Structure 1
Amino acid sequence: MMGKIPRRGMFAAGLVLAAPRVLRAQGSQQLAIATGTTGGVYYPLGGALANLISRQIPGMSATVEVTGGSVGNLQLLGAGRVGLIFSQVDAAVDAVRGNDRFRGRPVPARAIAVIYTNRMQAVTVASTGIKSIPDLRGKRISTGAPGSATEVMALRLLEAAGLDPAKDFRARERLSPAESTNAVKDGKLDAYMFVSGVPTSAITDLGASPGVQLQMIDHDQYTAKIVEKYGPVYFNEVIPAGTYPGQTTDNKQMSVANVLAVREDMPAEMVTRLIRIAWEGREDLARTHAEARNFKLEGQKTAAAGIPWHPAAEAFWRETGANLG
């Protein structure tokens, strides 16, 4: 089980105090791992992984950073302020290519593992009357924390549904999932989006709240249009009924893969050690969050990773028996 998670601090926009990606002093090493918000899956899995790394690499102290999510993580990696990150593939592809928020500042990110699927979750409650993405027009919504891939994916979904984020909402907030859940409970927000593994603790909290009927909004019909513009990084999946308290029907939604990534200049020996620790410790990770059970050999595909493999990672997976494709 995961012990106490060492962390440096919480910064909603995904920015942390300067921390070199590998700090060496008097024979010790520190590795900062950029994760996400406390209401998601990256953070607890990152904490469990940090504990494994700290226990298994002599002299290594791994810590987790609470961040806004993938975009902020990639920016930190590009600046050399963290050594290992969790990221959605869509944000990683943009970062490596220097597109969108990384325009003019490409990040030399390299995949070391494809870990599990992130689900776009469009969340509301029955009392709002919202049943579809177009029903969000004129409502108060949150599209995810600044520096998150949730925000990137949410804006692409709204665009595909013909909604203008700047004009078509009574208010558009940029909140974490926990903040969004509290705002819905308080009647200050009608709906929110969050991209994560399932179940997500903040959505579980909302569904379990007295007097609340959770409503998950289907949106799989927009995936093809988004893929046509942004590339084949998204695919349709279903969140089964009963995943969350009060969820009475399957949620037809859009998903994207997650990767663990490092800089291309991380030494091969360190990359191999990190992957081996994560891979051999996946049962420990799964005891922290069930999504780690989806960290599988058959998931290690070049197409799924989206960005180039670190050469040491590619070698590790081939030797382990993965068919990278």
Structure 2
Amino acid sequence: MGLSRRGFLLGVLGAVGCSYTGPSGRVRIAAGEAGGFYVEFARLLAGEMNAAEPELRVEVVETLGSVMNIARISAGEAELGLVLADTLAAARAGSPPFHSPIDLTALGRVYENYMQLVVRADSPIHALSDLSSHHVSLGASGSGAALFGERLVTTAGVPVVVDHHPLAEATSALRNGRVQALLWSGGLPTPALTDLDNAIGIRLLDLAAYAPTLRSHYGPVYDAVTIPANTYRSPTPTTTIGVPNLLVPNPALPTPTIRTTVRVLVDQATHLVPQQALGTQYLDVRSLIDTIPAPLHPAAAAMYRDLRG
């Protein structure tokens, strides 16, 4: 197992408030795990930003996900970060795993994340309730999947044995029987899950029944969404929970950099969809400006108006 969730939270979430220590012109994008949608999108964004503004030095930083990305932004260790809407809402409210409110805005809603609760295709487990007393990897420590996973099992009243593994470790653990399910938050399809499906066969559990209760407890950051048939090898669609992903700036990020970022999001939208998600993800201005639960950064709002009126 990687870094414990308790150890991670004690290490990076004790301090609240954001600082900015990055050198002028350097933009670090706190992304996610290798092989996931976060990193692939961030690499495309970095490339387009570097091309649009040669004086910028945009680079991608691999992390374990949304909670860690907020920690890096708060510590001045990232200028931009990709953050799930439920994690951002918790940070702004000072709700667990955050100790006090963190005043963050957003530059855009960039895509939809699909919560994928995965079991082996030959598993006798066919519903979340069947996982009672079984080992389940609920995302890596520091990920948005970990926050969502704990909310899910608590809301459902299913007492699972919680592990926290990064995706590569989680797929290995499922393949070897050390966990009976894994939760992953990402785009469709996720290559690591495609590889696992080709190796042993996987099945996704339907989570539709839990969407209303999650919304009533935590607000409109959760929606029921459909994973289409044949996303992996399954010939039938699966309903799960979708969570928007937002691009979040350090509050001290200079206005010119914010304007460049927004211009790239709008003008290069068709070039910012990772190959793995073509046909399931897209960017347009209508979705970009819908940054609930955080306000749109004022400089970003002004740039959207300049570009599209």
TM-score, with length taken from structure 1: 0.85
Match of 2:63 in 1: 67
Question: Is 2:42 the partner of 1:52?
Answer: no
Distance 2:273 2:65 in 1: 21
Distance 2:97 2:133 in 1: 27
After superposition, the CA RMSD in angstroms is: 2.4
Of 264, 289, 293, 1:277 maps to 264
The one-letter amino acid paired with 2:136 is I
Deviation at 1:293?
Answer: 4.3
Contact 2:225 2:239 in 1 (8 A): yes
Q: Structure 1 regions of 5+ residues with no counterpart?
A: 1-10
Question: Is 2:103 the partner of 1:90?
Answer: no
Match of 2:285 in 1: 297
The one-letter amino acid paired with 2:221 is V
The one-letter amino acid paired with 2:121 is A
Distance 1:290 1:284 in 2: 12
Match of 2:157 in 1: 162
Match of 1:112 in 2: 107
Q: What does 1:239-258 align with in structure 2 at a 5 Å threshold?
A: 239-244=227-232, 246-258=233-245
SS at match of 2:122: helix
Match of 1:318 in 2: 305
Match of 1:233 in 2: 221
Contact 1:110 1:264 in 2 (8 A): yes
Q: Structure 2 regions of 5+ residues with no counterpart?
A: 13-18
Distance 1:276 1:22 in 2: 22
Q: What does 1:192-271 align with in structure 2 at a 5 Å threshold?
A: 192-209=182-199, 212-244=200-232, 246-271=233-258
CA deviation vs aligned residue, 1:96-132 (integer Å, no higher than 9, x gap):
222211122x323211011111111100112221100
CA deviation vs aligned residue, 1:120-170 (integer Å, no higher than 9, x gap):
110011222110000111222100001101011111111121123xxx43x
Deviation at 1:257?
Answer: 0.6
Distance 1:155 1:293 in 2: 26
Deviation at 1:232?
Answer: 1.3
Contact 1:124 1:216 in 2 (8 A): yes
Distance 2:288 2:51 in 1: 26
Distance 1:293 1:135 in 2: 31
CA deviation vs aligned residue, 1:49-68 (integer Å, no higher than 9, x gap):
11222232223211111111
The one-letter amino acid paired with 1:196 is G
The one-letter amino acid paired with 1:147 is G
Deviation at 1:21?
Answer: 5.3
Closer, same or farther: CA 191–79 of 1 in aligned 2, 3 Å: same
Contact 1:300 1:317 in 2 (8 A): no
Distance 1:288 1:243 in 2: 14
Contact 1:207 1:247 in 2 (8 A): no
Deviation at 1:267?
Answer: 2.3
Match of 2:169 in 1: 179
Closer, same or farther: CA 287–230 of 1 in aligned 2, 3 Å: closer
Distance 1:315 1:56 in 2: 19
Match of 1:137 in 2: 132
Distance 2:293 2:274 in 1: 28
Deviation at 1:31?
Answer: 1.1
SS at match of 1:163: coil
> More strand by proportion, 1 or 2?
1
